[in-house]
Amino acid sequence: MLRLFRKKGYNTVSFSSFEPKQPYQLILRHDIDFLGINLSILTDMEMKIGFQSINHFLMTSEVYNINSLAVKSLINRLRKKGHHLGLHIDPTLFSPYSSKQELQNEFKNLINIANIYLGPLDSYSFHRPAIIGPNKDLFPENFSFQVPKCAYSDEFTKSMIYRSDSRREWQDGCICQEIKDLDGRSLQLLIHANWWDIEEINREQNLKTYVNTHLRLIKSYLAYNLSFLPESKISLKDFFIG
């Protein structure tokens, strides 16, 4: 599918380098809700066809640690290959704040922490915006300080085509079909790497593989730290980078 975009003459741009009204711009975004080897495979593939994506990491994930050695190596690798980095935000984090000032302070802290782990941020996006409804207070125009571009701002959603594979479902039909009639119009495309595999497997099988690999990883971690357990061969790096 990405090769088709290439064939049609599209080039990837980041949110911060996007130029309004210019055709053939593709903003290729990956939100990292959970992390496996698929992101490495996908971003390597993108690089081979000359594409760079924008990878949004959660600072508050329950299933991966932004400060672990393996995730840090992955982040370095993405940066070295010319991909862009950004922040994926769970808006529910901000619902308990009583005042706007408190929310602003907390957001500023989150951006500062993200800068430490990810470096300069291209942009940010919201986790599960359709269900939670993005908090209007979290859009750039409502901050009293400079923030990165927001993937859900009108310029990247209402003023341009925006397509997402959320839960591995293309809401407007598969983009592979739609691409034929785009006529060079610029678009934002959200792909969750964790939903796809090089093999043709369905989403339930895909999740099963993720859970099983995670289980092996935990067993390996325990075996490494507890000498009475049998050795396991998988390492954190194998899991995220391959």
Other CB atoms within 10 Å distance of the CB of residue 138: 20
Smallest separation, CB 137 to Zn ion (Å): 19
The token pair that represents 51 in the structure block = 């594409």
Candidate segments 8-16, 92-100, 120-128, 219-227, binder of Zn ion by CB under 5 A: 120-128
CB of 226 to Zn ion, least distance (A): 34
**Nearest one of 125, 118, 110 to 78, comparing CA atoms:** 118
Residue 241 CB, nearest approach to Zn ion (Å): 21
Name the residue nearer to Zn ion (CB basis): 33 or 122.
33
Sequence-ordered list of residues with C-beta below 8 angstroms from that of 192, at least 6 positions apart, any chain: 30, 31, 33, 165, 166, 168
Minimum CB distance to Zn ion smaller for 125 or for 186: 125
Is there binding between residue 83 and Zn ion (CB under 5 A)?
Answer: no
| The one segment of 8-16, 42-50, 119-127, 159-167 that binds Zn ion by CB under 5 A | 119-127
Q: Which residue number, 61 or 142, has a Cβ lying nearer to Zn ion?
A: 61
Q: Which is nearer to Zn ion, 164 or 220 (CB)?
A: 164
Q: Does 89 bind Zn ion (CB under 5 A)?
A: no
**Interaction of residue 194 with Zn ion, rule CB under 5 A:** no
Is residue 46 a contact residue for Zn ion (CB under 5 A)?
no
Closest to Zn ion by CB, 26 vs 193, is 193
Q: Are 89 and 98 in contact (CB under 8 A)?
A: no
What span, in angstroms and rounded, lies between the C-alpha atoms of 9 and 24? 6
- Measured from the CB atom, the residue of 83 and 127 that comes closer to Zn ion is 127
Told to check if 149 binds Zn ion by CB under 5 A, we report no
Q: In the range 20-39, which residues lie near Zn ion by CB under 5 A? A: 31, 33
User: Residue 86 carries which DSSP code?
Assistant: E
C-beta contacts of 202-206 below 8 A and 24+ residues apart: 203/167, 203/168, 206/168
Min dist CB 133 to Zn ion, Å, is 14
Applying CB under 5 A, the span of 124-132, 145-153, 182-190, 222-230 interacting with Zn ion comes to: 124-132
127 is a site residue for Zn ion (CB under 5 A)? yes
Looking at the Cβ atoms of 117 and 152, the one nearer to Zn ion is 152
**Which of 78, 90, 16 lies closest to 41, judged by CA?**
78
Q: Are 35 and 238 in contact (CB under 8 A)?
A: no
Transcribe 171-235 into DSSP letters. TTS-HHHHGGG-TT--EEEE--GGG--SS---HHHHHHHHHHHHHHHHHHHHHHH-TTSPP----
Whether 26 contacts 189, CB under 8 Å: yes
Can you give the binding site for Zn ion, defined by CB under 5 A?
A: 31, 33, 127
